[in-house]
Amino acid sequence: MAARIGAPPPGVAVGIGDDAAVLTCPDGRVVATTDVLIEGSHFRLDWSSPYEIGRRAAAANMADVAAMGGRAAALLIGLVAPPDLAVADAEALADGLRDEAAQVGAAVIGGDSVAGERLTLAVTALGDLEGRRPVLRSGAAVGDRVVLAGRLGWSAAGLALLQAGVREGLLVAAHRVPRPPYELGPALADAGATAMCDVSDGLVADLGHIAAASGKRIGIRPADLAGEVVEGRALTEREVLGGGEDHALVATLPPDAPVPEGCRVIGQVVADERVGLVIDLDSGTKLDVPGWDHFGTGRPQ
């Protein structure tokens, strides 16, 4: 399997083959994040190929690094493989992980594999802040603009199409392999972002995390976000506000900070009252759009 991953990039002093890898960190700090994807809960093998699952698992983690203002440098992989997993499928998983990591110049530098009943990927991403301060969820200030990087609703719409029996198209592809705006995380940090979050659970849910951590109230205009038409299908408000697995980034920027190219202003941090709420700026009402609930009934993806 190590041969499929390839030679480690600069910055990896020791790669696959020893008890542990060694990663050089010029910044002196390491951004670390981890996610677990389980067959039947987070993906289905009849909807996505092993290669696509590998890409998706890597993307989910590297988007979290970008949301801190960093760049992913390395991935560690924990693989639970059913006894009947074909060697070709395991190799395709490795290829997907490798190719997604290569999008940002990162690499798979190690991991572990064990036998188990359901295919499971536990991915840990390690990243470099490159001298920047980490952008937390807790720094939003009243008057900051809410800025979005990346797309919303595509993955959720793709999931709905898969559930309806559709197997091809841009939206289905977006669900199988998301396209996080990796470069815009560091760009937003450099622009002075006061708070930032990866939109993995849904825009309203994740803006709620920023609002709660910052002790603020955040407003957006839902009507300005929904309705994008992709291949003749309009994205619904529920898909845009509650679907998170496009792994967009949402941040807050001071009023005088530049908005990086590729980002758009979608709202504002409006007050300290009713802390933690996300509201419709036009009506002032609370937006009650459920996002992904990790301990709810779940949905195959």
Looking at residue 40, its pLDDT comes to 86
Same domain, 121 and 166: no
> The domain that contains 208 carries what CATH number?
3.90.650.10
Q: Does residue 24 sit within a domain?
A: yes
User: Which pair of structure tokens corresponds to residue 75?
Assistant: 């991935």
Average pLDDT, the chain: 90
Same domain, 124 and 196: no
Dump pLDDT digits (tens) for 196-234.
Answer: 999 999 999 999 999 999 999 999 999 889 889 999 999
Same domain, 248 and 151: yes
Q: Does residue 213 sit within a domain?
A: yes
Q: Does residue 26 sit within a domain?
A: yes
Nearest to 249 by CA among 72, 70, 66: 66
User: What percent of the chain has a predicted confidence (pLDDT) above 90?
Assistant: 76
Interstrand relation of 263-271 and 217-220 (parallel, antiparallel or unpaired)? antiparallel
* Angle in degrees, CA 53, 56, 62, rounded to 5: 145
Q: Does residue 294 sit within a domain?
A: no
> Which stretch of 40-49, 62-71, 93-102, 190-199 has the lowest confidence by average pLDDT?
40-49
pLDDT band at 298 (very low <50, low <70, confident <90, very high): very low
Q: Does residue 287 sit within a domain?
A: no
> The domain that contains 44 carries what CATH number?
3.30.1330.10
Same domain, 119 and 149: no
Same domain, 163 and 219: yes
Dump pLDDT digits (tens) for 246-260.
Answer: 999 999 999 999 999
Q: Does residue 286 sit within a domain?
A: no
Same domain, 113 and 173: no
For the chain, what is the domain count?
2
> Between 156 and 297, whose confidence is greater?
156
Give the pLDDT mean for 38-63: 94
> Which stretch of 88-97, 160-169, 177-186, 266-275 has the lowest confidence by average pLDDT?
266-275
Residue pair 127/47 in contact (Cβ under 8 Å)? The answer is no
Dump pLDDT digits (tens) for 77-126.
Answer: 999 999 999 999 999 999 999 999 999 999 999 989 999 999 999 999 99
Looking at residue 297, its pLDDT comes to 43
> Between 203 and 276, whose confidence is greater?
203
What domain range includes position 10?
Answer: 2-128
H, E, C per residue of the chain:
CHHHHCCCCCCEEECECECCCEECCCCCCCEEEEEEEEECCCECCCCCCHHHHHHHHHHHHHHHHHHCCCEEEEEEEEEEECCCCCHHHHHHHHHHHHHHHHCCCCEEEEEEEEECCCCEEEEEEEEECCCCCCCCCCCCCCCCEEEEECCCCHHHHHHHHHHCCCCCCHHHHHHHCCCCCCCHHHHHHHHCCCEEEEECCCHHHHHHHHHHHHCCEEEECHHHCCCCEECCEECCHHHHHHCCCCCEEEEEECCCCCCCCCEEEEEEEEECCCCCCEEECCCCCECCCCCCCCCCCCCCC
Looking at residue 41, its pLDDT comes to 83
Q: Of how many residues is the chain composed? A: 301
Is 60 exceeded by the pLDDT of residue 288? yes
Nearest to 244 by CA among 295, 290, 193: 290
Q: Does residue 202 sit within a domain?
A: yes
